[in-house]
Amino acid sequence: MKTLALGLCLAILATAAVAPLAQAKEPLNTLTAAEKARGWKLLFDGKDTRGWRDFKAAEADPGWKVKDGILFVDPKVAKDLITTDKYANFELSFDWRIGKLGNSGVFYHVIEEGEFAYETGPEYQLLDNHRSEPPLEQAAGLFGLYPPTKDVTRPVGEFNHGRLVVDHGHVQHWLNGVKVAEYELGSADFKAKVAGTKFHRWPLFATGTTGHIGLQNHGDDVAFTNIKIRVLP
């Protein structure tokens, strides 16, 4: 009887400890007081695509839609989306959800040259890893150049939390709280990797010290929310 009572007591305490955490979760596309104090800003307000436009266009096309605080893509018609502003050194935080066997990406330092954002902007890869792409093309790595050290993706249908830190050429990729890739833009190692891939065909690839942040339409379902940025000195 004492054992049973103790077990019930522990269960009640455990529930009480967990419940406040669930209730304390911030609403989508908002900033806490602490985030504001550290200089974070929203890149997506959960209402519309203000602050974004198509690559090499004046506005965002209707293929990017907003519903319930989430940014969706119509994979059949949408073009790559980029920020209207440019960013050099920054910390980017975003939540992303990919469709079954889907593929997409987040670009940075995009220069509006060539036909596509990927010709200049390095890509934080978004992927359903069940698609069985090679390691260099798996989720949260630098597409085609630096593979993620491990697979920490959540099941398809759930949002993953991505974080990208670009600090004077030193770049970190984080996924769901785990650092999975790290590299130096313009280093000998980086240049050697570029020379051995398709990216060597585009002389401006990864050469920008500033540029737009981009969301890729790769022809698959993908969704974003909680897109935030903090500019680094």
The one-letter amino acid code at 100 reads K
By residue count, the chain amounts to: 233
78 lies in some domain: yes
Residue predicted with more confidence, 129 or 9? 129
State the first-to-last Cα distance of the chain, in angstroms, to the nearest integer. 62
Q: How many domains does the structure of the chain reveal?
A: 1
> In this structure, are strands 70-73 and 81-83 parallel, antiparallel, or unpaired?
unpaired
106 lies in some domain: yes
Confidence of residue 119 (pLDDT cuts 50, 70, 90): very high
Residue 195 belongs to domain spanning: 29-231
Beta strands in the chain (DSSP E): 40-42, 52-54, 64-67, 70-73, 81-83, 90-98, 103-110, 123-127, 160-167, 170-175, 178-184, 212-215, 222-231
84 lies in some domain: yes
**76: which DSSP letter?**
T
190 lies in some domain: yes
193 lies in some domain: yes
Structure tokens at 207: 């050469």
8 lies in some domain: no
Residue from 127, 142, 117 nearest 220 by CA: 127
Whether 40 has a pLDDT exceeding 70, the answer reads: yes
125 lies in some domain: yes
5 lies in some domain: no
What pLDDT digit, counting tens, does each position of 78-94 carry? 999 999 999 999 999 99
Residue from 225, 91, 107, 105 nearest 163 by CA: 91
Domain harbouring 98, CATH code: 2.60.120.560
Confidence of residue 25 (pLDDT cuts 50, 70, 90): low
Residue from 65, 31, 73 nearest 49 by CA: 65
SS3 state at 4: helix
User: Picking from 10-14, 44-48, 161-165, which range would have the lowest pLDDT averaged per residue?
Assistant: 10-14
